A and B are shown apart, each in its own frame.
Chain A
Amino acid sequence: MRVIDIARKNLSRRKWRLIFNLVGISISVAILVSTSVISHVMRAKVEEEIDKLGANIVVTPKYEVVSVSYGSIIVGESTIQENLIEKIYTIPNSANIAIVSPKLYGLAPYGNGSLLIVGILPENERMLKGWWRINGFLPESNRDQALVGSAVASSLGLSLGVALVVNGMQLTVTGILNETGSIDDFSVFIPLDVAQRMLNKPGVVSVIDVAALCKNCPVELIAQQIMDAIPEVKATPIKQAIHMRMEVTSRLSNLSLLLASTLLIVSCVFIMNTMLASIYERMREIGIFMSMGADDANIRRIFMLESLILGGIGGFLGVGLGLILSLFINPIIMNISITVEDVLYNAEWLSVIPLSIAISLLVCFIASLYPAWKASTVDPVEALRGGM
């Protein structure tokens, strides 16, 4: 028989106390685990969705002269030679580049005012802006067709198939964008080559939007590589959207971590309390052990082992419960849909399992320190006589 057997047998003697202790620890560990799994999975999902969020790198000419505001991006009169676009595909991380969408902006006279003309490669722009909802069709390359923003369509009374004469060129409206709430609502999208002709800017673009999938590489690195490949341009990473999502995820997981740590501290105090109470109950036992040759270290070991057994079992139960929580209950509470596949395919959270068990063991170890020390300082004679 070993000291651990004494600890184990004493624990199993008081089943309800054991169960209460285990419930406390495993709930704390479960919250810890489910939080970590969910934040891991959510982070992975956000990274996967980057391409759906639009461009994350904007390539502009290096030297701006006059600026035109386009959303949050300032576009100048300077342009980029169209033939430089190819060089983007020569960067070391070219495999991470999902979409390259060059654009030419310009104001074209229309009636008494002017219209914001955006020359695009229609298919590329469509891929970049996954949220676009189009009535009708995209314009085709090299055809005098236009996709108009909702505000333009309503203010000019445009409908599908009608002709729109801009700067002396007749465009057919093939598509009308549903409202996007962005500058797109006020733009007229036409094929890039048509725009170059209309605005008299052959072979140039104003800006190149790049969508890079950067699950394993920083977007800053890709931006830098583009600038190295094309010295004439400035590549700016846009991180706002992703950061926002990431921030929400991390705030959510921070909140749950706070909750889990609070619960762990509470269970730590609970364990410490029950252990201290049990020392008073087990006074004689401690005295007997001492009379039989147990030294202070042996006594401490009995109490610490009891606590570590609790921590170990509680940790394992908590991990199981946490995985169930993250799959079935948390998605309901937090309104996040997480499937079994999400959890299985994002195996990065696996490190959470040993970590949670280690935390559980550590908490229980800390909880046992004072009671174990207290037990080891018991006066054996007083203990055998039944007092403290």
Chain B
Amino acid sequence: MIVLKNVSKIYGKSPQVVALHNVTMEVKKGEFLAVMGPSGSGKSTLLYIIGGLLTPTKGEVLINGVSIYKLNSRERAKLRQEKIGFIFQTFELIPYLTALENVMVPLCFSKIPNSKHEEKAIKALNLVGLTNRASHKPSELSGGEQQRVSIARAIVNDPSILLADEPTGNLDQKTGAEIMHLIKRLNEEKGITVILVTHDPSKARFADKVAVLIDGQIMKIERLRNMGGKSLRDKSGNRKQLLECA
């Protein structure tokens, strides 16, 4: 479903900074991929390129067989609108809008009629368990609640792909785990393809596959058999080693 072919991203002219180098990989429909790597390894760059926000210097990104950087910017925006949801480390909610309004924002840019916006937003808030906080501004919500709102916002358009950039980076361990369970649930129950960028092995364990990115290159992609944090600790040393190296 998502295919990257020899994707490279180079910043600047002199000196050149190679953020990604010849990345080739494939993420199947409904799969949960964790991208791990130290900071500066190009994880976020990779996520933005997949999300159609950052044009690669070289290579091709195909979503459902469509080479997205051959589309013009409006067509790419439409693709994001319909197929992609973003979650960020710092939640990125609009401060002057309530939780419900924040969830409705992506609908403003879509063709979905205005009369259906609220209904869809409430449904999304319900999925993340936050209907009771709908009328609160982000400043009145806890970190975990804010991230739930941002997840509701990411899924309100019923996207098939969820791109999460360190979604638990600003949360404590317990809240972070709750958020991961929520993302996992969306992946399993709604069949949303998830690409998660993280440097935390305990969060990567929720994924089906883990890709390790170092200096802009994919070092390894490995499938994890059994998902869900704790169970993974009992798995083979090889898999542990993979997570630790990230």
| A interface, CB within 8 angstroms of B | 1-3, 5-6, 9-10, 12-13, 284-285, 287-298, 380-381, 384
Residues of B contacting A288 in the complex (Cβ-Cβ under 8 angstroms): 92, 94, 105
- Chain A nearest Cβ from B105, distance in angstroms: 6
Interchain CB contact under 8 A, A380 and B53: yes
* Distance, CA A9 to CA B104, complexed state (A): 14
Residues of B within 8 A of A (CB): 48, 51, 53-54, 73-74, 77-78, 80-82, 84, 86, 88, 92, 94-97, 101, 104-110, 114, 117-118, 153, 157
Cross-chain contact A293 with B77 (CB below 8 angstroms): yes
CB neighbours (8 Å) of B82 from chain A are: 293
Contact B81 A10 (CB under 8 A): no
A289-B96 contact in complex given A297-B74, A381-B48, C-beta closer than 8 Å = no
- Contact status A285-B81, CB under 8 Å: no
Top 10 A-B pairs ranked by shortest CB distance? A293-B81, A295-B77, A1-B104, A13-B96, A292-B106, A293-B80, A291-B86, A294-B109, A295-B74, A381-B54
A284–B138 Cα gap in the complex (Å)? Answer: 15
Residue in contact with A289 in the complex, picked from B104, B109, B157, CB distance below 8 Å: B109
Docked CA distance A373–B152 (Å): 30
Q: Are B97 and A6 interface neighbours, CB within 8 A? A: yes
Cα of A87 to Cα of B61 in the assembled complex, Å = 94
Q: Of B54, B80, B101, B110, which one neighbours A9 at CB under 8 angstroms?
A: B101
Q: List 18 A-B contacts (CB under 8 A).
A: A1-B114, A1-B117, A2-B114, A288-B92, A290-B53, A290-B80, A291-B53, A292-B106, A292-B109, A292-B153, A293-B109, A294-B77, A294-B108, A294-B109, A296-B73, A296-B77, A298-B108, A380-B48
- With a CB–CB cut-off of 8 A, which chain B residues contact A381? 48, 53-54
Known: A1-B117, A291-B53. 18 other contacts (CB 8 A): A1-B107, A1-B114, A2-B114, A3-B109, A12-B96, A284-B92, A289-B109, A290-B80, A292-B86, A292-B153, A293-B109, A293-B157, A295-B74, A296-B77, A298-B109, A380-B54, A381-B48, A384-B53
Q: Indicate whether A295 sits within 8 Å of B92 (C-beta atoms), given known contacts A9-B97, A380-B53.
A: no
**By the criterion CB–CB under 8 Å, are A1 and B94 in contact?**
no
A10 to chain B, nearest CB (A): 6
Question: Which residues of chain A come closer than 8 Å to B109, judged between CB atoms?
Answer: 3, 289, 292-295, 298
Bound-state CA distance A293–B84 (Å) is: 8
**CB closest residue in chain A, given B94:** A285
Contact residues of A: prevailing secondary structure: helix
Shortest Cβ distance from B100 into chain A, in angstroms? 9
A-B contact count (CB 8 A): 82
Residues of B within 8 A of A287 (CB): 92
Minimal beta-carbon separation of B82 from chain A (angstroms): 7
**A1 and B101 in contact (CB under 8 A), knowing A293-B80, A293-B157?**
yes
Contact A293 B110 (CB under 8 A): yes
Q: Are B114 and A293 in contact (CB under 8 A)?
A: no
* CB <8 Å contact, A384 and B88: yes
Nearest CB of chain B from residue A17's CB, rounded to whole Å = 13
Contact between B105 and A1 (Cβ–Cβ < 8 Å)? yes
Select B106's contact among A5, A10, A293, beta carbons within 8 Å. A293
Q: Which residues of B contact A6 (CB under 8 A)?
A: 94, 97, 105, 108
**Closest CB in chain A relative to B234 CB, distance in Å:** 38
A384 to B105, CA, bound (A): 17
Q: How far is the CA of A13 from the CA of B73 in the complex (A)?
A: 30
Q: Distance (Å) between the CB of A256 and the closest chain B CB?
A: 39
Cβ–Cβ < 8 Å partners of A380 in chain B: 48, 53-54
Q: With a CB–CB cut-off of 8 A, which chain B residues contact A289?
A: 105, 109
A1 in contact with B108 (CB, 8 Å): yes
Tell me the bound Cα distance from A179 to B132 in angstroms. Answer: 90
Most chain B C-beta atoms within 10 Å of own C-beta, residue among A10, A12, A290, A291: A291
Set of chain A residues within 8 Å of B118, measured between Cβ atoms: 1
Residues in A whose Cβ lies below 8 Å from that of B88: 384
* A3 and B77 contacting across the interface, CB-CB below 8 Å: no
Among A3, A10, A284, A291, the residue within 8 A (CB) of B108 is A3
Q: Which residues of B contact A297 (CB under 8 A)?
A: 74
Contacts of B94 in A (CB 8 A): 6, 285, 288
Chain A neighbourhood of B110, CB < 8 A: 293
Q: Give min CB distance, A300 to chain B, whole Å.
A: 12
Q: Is the CB of A9 within 8 A of B108?
A: no
Instruction: Evaluate contact between A292 and B105: CB separation under 8 angstroms.
Output: yes
Q: Which residues of B contact A296 (CB under 8 A)?
A: 73-74, 77
